Structure 1
Amino acid sequence: MSGRANIAILFFTALVLILSYLNYFTDYATNYGTLVVKLIHASLIILLAYLLGAFLGNIIMERVHDTRDRYTLRKVSSIFITLLAVGSLLIVFFKETTTLIIAYGIFSAGIVITLQDVFRNFAGGIIILFSKSFRAGDRIQVDDCYGDVLDIAYFHTTLMEIREWVDGDQYSGRILNVPNSFVLNNTVKNYTRDFSFIWDEVTIMLAPESNWEKAKSNALETTNELIKDYVEHSKRELANMEQRYLLTSYDVDTKVFMQIEGDRIEMHLRYVVDPKKRRHVNDMIVRNLLEVFADESDILIGSISSIEVTKMPEIKTISYSGK
């Protein structure tokens, strides 16, 4: 609590006591009874406003550790307390309370409209805290923002950014502060809530004369050996999710899908992986598949493109000498 607030509280406390003594225990205020009572009520309102402000200020200082959120919360609470105090003072000194309430409502609405972004961010923060749509540590996407949640404050969410100019869902090194109002009108895509795995794919291009059946068998055997822990954990998580969601499939086994594309055979290898290790696992699978296929003479990686080369006709040059 600031020194100015302490002085104000002491002053209005003394003023309430003095006015109450004059009004109820002496005859000095006989001719000004109504005015004195109004002054007592007004002093009490201001005193209560200061006390409420000090109380909320202490709570904010103890509970809110982020400097920006602390500042914003104190400003918002100060505005609300001021509005309540002004409205109460108007009612004390004027009799036409209906007109005052209407005017006070219009004034309050103007303040709310002016600070609508602040209120939207605060409302979004409350929704996040109670709905638990994501938590610190989750990987989420909001519009074009991707990242891991570092902190959820009252007015903004802090993300460690991934993607942008970096491939494979790896960190870019930038910190994003996203206003919490995004939960009111945007879809939050959570990579890790309830089910902490995603499906990823590796595409291998085979030449047409390759033994694609052997390539498929080798790819499945190699990949299953590398990601068997992920498959087991993902199956357990899916079993736990059945208690909360209607699931139509539990199939997290590795799959291979074949496709003919132009002059090549495309082999799409689909598997489950921890989203935060996607690039590492992708690299591990590709390196192991390259080593396996290198030992197979009937499996050729790549495509064959026919290029027709036309031989240019021979050009004879004739030189003329003139006199």
Structure 2
Amino acid sequence: MVWVDDPKEIVLVIGIIWGAIFVALRGLIQNMVGSLILMVTRIYRIGDRIQVKGVYGTVMDIGVFRTTLMKLDEESGDHPTGQITTIPNGILFRETITNTSRELSFRGDEIRITLPFSANIQKTRELLVDIVSRHTVEIQDKAAREIEHMSDRKYLPEFGTEPTVFVHLDKHQILMVVKYYTESSRRAEIKNGIVEEISQVIPGILDVER
């Protein structure tokens, strides 16, 4: 039998033990609670494309403790890299999660082309808008409907869905950036089609950045 002169010492020891147990199990508890929150709130679902803490990929599985992702290469138009990674479900308490698939089926994208100073800026701008519009006309209409539908439930700033071209002049060349909305699930396919036509139709291109 152990005798303790001061009962406060027992309380202190018990508190230290419980504190150590809580610290050891905190991550486990957060992951379990995170899993329950995901089930209820549906922040992301299997098949969604999410970005969290520098990791971007398609959700393959949502387990009790961890979520499995197929990593995507955003630079190449969301092409699967073949790399599979996992993130703890408790990460939603610590990091911002961006879901590019939820509620809106489209997302912004851009293509950069470099031209010599001798290029006709106005004509090139018109060609870019025409090419991109033909590849994304259905997406523009769908995006407009989705925006209108969402604005009935949530605040959304007004913005158009048509392609826009920005021009930047350098000392030796012209940089033109065309921004447009594309279907999230077909981003790579749509971008490849646009780039191929731009390369064939617009003369004098020095470089195309996807």
Correspondence for 1:115: 25
**SS where residue 159 of structure 2 aligns?**
coil
Q: CA RMSD in A?
A: 2.4
Q: Percent identity?
A: 28
Correspondence for 2:80: 171
1:151 paired to 2:70: no
- Take 1:213 and 1:177, find their aligned partners in 2: how far apart are those partners? 48
1:302 paired to 2:179: no
**SS where residue 263 of structure 1 aligns?**
coil
**Alignment coverage as a number of residue pairs:** 199
Correspondence for 2:34: 124
Post-superposition offset of 1:122: 0.8
Correspondence for 1:259: 168
Distance 1:216 1:127, change over 3 A: same
Q: Deviations over 1:64-85 (max 9, x none)?
A: xxxxxxxxxxxxxxxxxxxxxx
Distance 1:113 1:235, change over 3 A: same
**Are 1:235 and 1:250, in contact at CA under 8 Å, matched by a contact in 2?**
no
- Take 2:163 and 2:136, find their aligned partners in 1: how far apart are those partners? 9
- Take 1:133 and 1:105, find their aligned partners in 2: how far apart are those partners? 38
Distance 1:132 1:217, change over 3 A: same
- Take 1:215 and 1:110, find their aligned partners in 2: how far apart are those partners? 66
- Take 2:48 and 2:14, find their aligned partners in 1: how far apart are those partners? 42
1:218 paired to 2:122: no
Please identify which structure carries the higher helix content: 1
- Take 2:105 and 2:95, find their aligned partners in 1: how far apart are those partners? 22
TM-score in terms of structure 1 length: 0.56
- Take 2:127 and 2:77, find their aligned partners in 1: how far apart are those partners? 25
Please identify which structure carries the higher strand content: 2
Post-superposition offset of 1:225: 0.9
Correspondence for 1:282: 191
Point out where structure 2 has 5 or more consecutive residues left out of the alignment.
1-6
Post-superposition offset of 1:112: 2.8
Q: Deviations over 1:231-289 (max 9, x none)?
A: 11111111121133211113111111111112111111111112332222222111112
Distance 1:238 1:104, change over 3 A: farther
- Take 1:147 and 1:162, find their aligned partners in 2: how far apart are those partners? 5
Post-superposition offset of 1:167: 3.3
Which one has more relative contact order, counting CA pairs under 8 Å at least 6 apart? 2
Distance 1:301 1:174, change over 3 A: closer
Post-superposition offset of 1:138: 0.9
Point out where structure 1 has 5 or more consecutive residues left out of the alignment.
1-97, 295-299, 304-323
Q: Greater CA radius of gyration, 1 or 2?
A: 1
Give the letter for the 1:118 counterpart. Answer: L
1:161 paired to 2:71: yes
Q: Deviations over 1:198-222 (max 9, x none)?
A: 1111112222122211111111112
Give the letter for the 1:244 counterpart. Answer: R
- Take 2:40 and 2:147, find their aligned partners in 1: how far apart are those partners? 24
